[in-house]
Chain A
Amino acid sequence: MIGWILLAIIVLIILRAPIFVALGAPAASYLWLRGIPLELAPQRMLGTVNESILLAVPMFLLAGALMNRYGATARIFDFAQAVIGHVRGGLGYVTVLASMVFSAMSGSAAADAVGVGKMTVAAMRERGYDPNFAAAVTLSSATMAPVIPPSIIMIIYGATANVSIGKMFLGGIVPGLLMAVSLMITVGWLSARRGYGRGEPFSFGRVLTTFWRASLVMLTPVLVIGGIFSGALTPTEASAIAVVYVIFLGLVYRKLKFSDFYRSLVHTGTAVGALMLVVSVSGLDAWVIAREQIPMMLAQQVTEMVSSPTLVFIAILLVVLVLGLFMDATPIILMLVPAIAPLVTAFGIDPLHLGVLFCIVCVLGLITPPVGVALYGVALVSRLPMERVFAATIPFFIMLLVLVAIMIAVPSIVTWLPNKWG
């Protein structure tokens, strides 16, 4: 049965059916064929998005939209261009850096992807960058958000797998920084290979003037991160405070017109509808996958084939990678972790090492089609076709996979910091 569903999903995607239809229609047919009441479909769809943590997505999307409208984004990127524009592919590095800063403000890759992407892709395009490249850098660096703390999926993982969440947070820091480094290496390599041009030569005066113009805007992350770590704000609230601050900037810059404001909210609401409907329907698919016990079966079959701890470790991550094609991170954790728990104990695998890498590989699933909320988020804000965004992301994706392989081989990259400080 599950094979037919997969086939139907792929056929519908090829026929150019909207993704939510391609994911939803086969699942609804499954319910009907299995004699399961169809009310389950709206129940699961509503239940999946009945999470106030997801509110960060519309908020960051709106903050980005307003910043673009007021030219606030332009102020940041003029400054960034002044600092690093003389370097080939300079704004690519800026995007990775921006995502890293953003990672400390949010726990979700989707919020990072739309929040950063809303600004970076348009700004890079205006400054002569290949929009596909811009989208790819944004998408791949959004994967840092749930790796660098705070991280929602690490909380879920820790609670499900009985691993210290505090240690997982610490365990994400070094891998998160290494992700930034490897993405920057890829930016440099691609820029050189494709012969991307350089901006104007460096001028200290320009750095100063653009810095002054951008200073109020650059206070946004300072306020938000400060707000979270001082205990004033939860990460979800922080996203709304970012919006309030951006509205305040609009008043300061005297650019806030009601008609523009109205339009920004309507268009953001529309974009949220397109993005979250896919998330919502994927929750229905997750129910079907759970009903058919697919993750447990996969885990059992794959791990039966191997017998050394390292191979079991790799096999588990491969299962995560495959499930990540079709599922969001949270349902993967909820379904797979109980299934692999006995193996982890039996083979003496370090639960912290596995946990952090499990989460990273889960996050890689958020940037792959056909179910990938970050991928859709970037496609949405960049106005590029989803398949083109993913194709452009492949070099970065491979780089991240290589990094995962290195972290499998060298556990201390993950475990050193938590064991020292935890």
Chain B
Amino acid sequence: LELTAAHVNPPGEPSNVAFQELAKRLGEGTTGIALQVFPQGQVGGETDALEQVRFGALTMTTVATASLSTFAPSAGVYDLPYLFRDGDTHPWIVADGEIGKEIEAKIEAETGLEVLGWWSGGLRHVFTRGAPVTTPDDLAGRKIRVIGSQVYLDSFNAMGALATAMPYGEVYTSLATGAIDGAENDISGYRNVKFYEQAPNFSLTGHFFLYKPVLANRSAMEALSPEQREEFDRIFAEVTEMQRGLFKANFDSDLAYLKENGVHVVEVDRAAFAAKVQPVVDKLSETYGADLVQRIRDAQ
């Protein structure tokens, strides 16, 4: 039985490693499941892959919640700025707990897909050319490229920046020429796409935590026999643990690498940034339910 998986992550990125590991362990398993992985956007971008999973051309993929929410509006609640206390404990309390199951059920109803689990995309940070960003005031009037998602645009405008939508492929050149003053990404993307060469100030704003839910085509997963499914779930749980751990461990090694390569890493007062985006949070709390947002915040 052959399953397929696609993702957009480059070698070394935890989701890339995790899918490789998943394929390896399934291959070594005893119930005869093979997993063919198409890395680095070989079969399309995140929303493309998600759509291919929906109509069954692929078995599974992992995408950022920002991409998932174009199909499943309920996933959007996770994209609220400064929703989580940290990037490695609080998100898992939520995703693996009661609230996570509720949201998962909504996502499954909205997309017709099965949510296999929740991986980490880490916290997102701001990086700039020119002056570093230490306080929200340092963002004032500066063009920051964000991913094309309304909550990202609103959040950065609320922080005082000029949120700029731009294709990913042009960000590097635009940082070089100064068409934009900065952008935001997780540390792994910042390092892999070499943004640090042109924007060497890395401010640990941690404005969003990004989940990477793994989604699968329901009927493709139903083709697994009970024994196969049992083995799959066991190995998938191990790999999920590994992926989350890897993201945490990689953060430190990436940070060390970046410092060695002349990157100026800036610690910031996250509360000051969080205060700025409060209006965005208030507005979105109405959409998703203030109660739900509060429960996520309070989850222990």
- What is the CA–CA distance of A334 and B55 in the complex, to the nearest angstrom? 24
- By the criterion CB–CB under 8 Å, are A51 and B169 in contact? yes
- What is the CA–CA distance of A41 and B214 in the complex, to the nearest angstrom? 24
**Which residues of chain B have C-beta atoms less than 8 A from A44's C-beta?**
43-44, 48
**Which residues of chain B have C-beta atoms less than 8 A from A232's C-beta?**
179
Interface string of A48-76 (1 = CB under 8 A from B): 00011100000000000000000000000
Of the candidates A36, A51, A159, which one forms a contact with B167 in the assembled complex, judged by CB atoms under 8 Å apart?
A51
Chain A: interface size category = 35 or more
**Which residues of chain B have C-beta atoms less than 8 A from A231's C-beta?**
174, 177-179
- What is the CA–CA distance of A115 and B197 in the complex, to the nearest angstrom? 31
Q: Does A233 contact B (CB under 8 A)?
A: yes
**Which residues of chain B have C-beta atoms less than 8 A from A229's C-beta?**
177
Q: Does B97 contact A (CB under 8 A)?
A: no
Q: Which residue, B11, B41, B194, has most C-beta atoms of chain A within 10 A? A: B194
Of the candidates B42, B179, B194, which one forms a contact with A164 in the assembled complex, judged by CB atoms under 8 Å apart?
B194
Q: Does B152 contact A (CB under 8 A)?
A: no
- What is the CA–CA distance of A277 and B160 in the complex, to the nearest angstrom? 42
- By the criterion CB–CB under 8 Å, are B10 and A160 in contact? yes
Task: Knowing A150-B173, A155-B173, A234-B174, say if A37 contacts B56 (CB, 8 Å).
Answer: yes
- By the criterion CB–CB under 8 Å, are B51 and A43 in contact? yes
B187 to chain A, nearest CB (A): 15
Q: Does A269 contact B (CB under 8 A)?
A: no
Q: Does A166 contact B (CB under 8 A)?
A: yes
Q: Does B93 contact A (CB under 8 A)?
A: no
Q: Does A162 contact B (CB under 8 A)?
A: yes
Near B by CB (< 8 A), chain A positions 118-174 give 150, 152, 155-156, 158-160, 162, 164-166
**Which residues of chain B have C-beta atoms less than 8 A from A331's C-beta?**
42
- What is the CA–CA distance of A234 and B173 in the complex, to the nearest angstrom? 8
Chain A, interface SS category = helix
**Which residues of chain A have C-beta atoms less than 8 A from B39's C-beta?**
338
- What is the CA–CA distance of A231 and B180 in the complex, to the nearest angstrom? 8
- By the criterion CB–CB under 8 Å, are B167 and A53 in contact? yes
Q: How many contacts A-B (CB < 8 Å)?
A: 94
- What is the CA–CA distance of A115 and B36 in the complex, to the nearest angstrom? 41
Residue of A nearest to B170 (CB): A234
Q: How many residues of B contact A (CB 8 A)?
A: 34
B82 to chain A, nearest CB (A): 29
Q: Does B15 contact A (CB under 8 A)?
A: no
Residue of A nearest to B40 (CB): A334
**Which residues of chain B have C-beta atoms less than 8 A from A335's C-beta?**
42
- What is the CA–CA distance of A150 and B171 in the complex, to the nearest angstrom? 12
- What is the CA–CA distance of A341 and B40 in the complex, to the nearest angstrom? 13
- By the criterion CB–CB under 8 Å, are B179 and A155 in contact? no
**Which residues of chain B have C-beta atoms less than 8 A from A230's C-beta?**
177-178
**Which residues of chain A have C-beta atoms less than 8 A from B169's C-beta?**
51, 53, 152, 155-156
**Which residues of chain A have C-beta atoms less than 8 A from B41's C-beta?**
334
Interface string of A355-384 (1 = CB under 8 A from B): 000000000000000000000000000000
- By the criterion CB–CB under 8 Å, are B172 and A47 in contact? no
Q: Does B52 contact A (CB under 8 A)?
A: yes
B177 to chain A, nearest CB (A): 4
Of the candidates B10, B11, B38, B55, which one forms a contact with A39 in the assembled complex, judged by CB atoms under 8 Å apart?
B55
**Which residues of chain B have C-beta atoms less than 8 A from A334's C-beta?**
40-42
Q: Does B256 contact A (CB under 8 A)?
A: no
- By the criterion CB–CB under 8 Å, are B40 and A338 in contact? yes
- What is the CA–CA distance of A116 and B44 in the complex, to the nearest angstrom? 31
- What is the CA–CA distance of A117 and B11 in the complex, to the nearest angstrom? 39
Near B by CB (< 8 A), chain A positions 193-235 give 228-235
- What is the CA–CA distance of A166 and B172 in the complex, to the nearest angstrom? 9
- By the criterion CB–CB under 8 Å, are B40 and A37 in contact? no
- What is the CA–CA distance of A51 and B170 in the complex, to the nearest angstrom? 11
**Which residues of chain B have C-beta atoms less than 8 A from A40's C-beta?**
52, 55, 57
**Which residues of chain B have C-beta atoms less than 8 A from A290's C-beta?**
38, 42-43
Near B by CB (< 8 A), chain A positions 217-256 give 228-236
- What is the CA–CA distance of A156 and B36 in the complex, to the nearest angstrom? 23
Q: Does B198 contact A (CB under 8 A)?
A: yes
Q: Does A24 contact B (CB under 8 A)?
A: no
A215 to chain B, nearest CB (A): 26
- What is the CA–CA distance of A120 and B282 in the complex, to the nearest angstrom? 58
**Which residues of chain B have C-beta atoms less than 8 A from A236's C-beta?**
167, 170
B11 to chain A, nearest CB (A): 6
Q: Does B292 contact A (CB under 8 A)?
A: no
- What is the CA–CA distance of A338 and B179 in the complex, to the nearest angstrom? 31
Near B by CB (< 8 A), chain A positions 287-303 give 287, 290-291, 293
18 contacts between A and B (CB under 8 A): A39-B55, A40-B55, A43-B44, A43-B48, A43-B52, A51-B167, A53-B170, A155-B193, A158-B193, A159-B193, A160-B10, A162-B11, A162-B12, A164-B197, A166-B197, A228-B177, A234-B166, A293-B36
Top 4 A-B residue pairs of the complex, sorted by shortest distance between their CB atoms: A231-B178, A47-B48, A231-B177, A40-B57
Given A37-B57, A156-B169, A293-B36, 4 extra CB contacts under 8 A: A39-B55, A228-B177, A287-B44, A290-B43
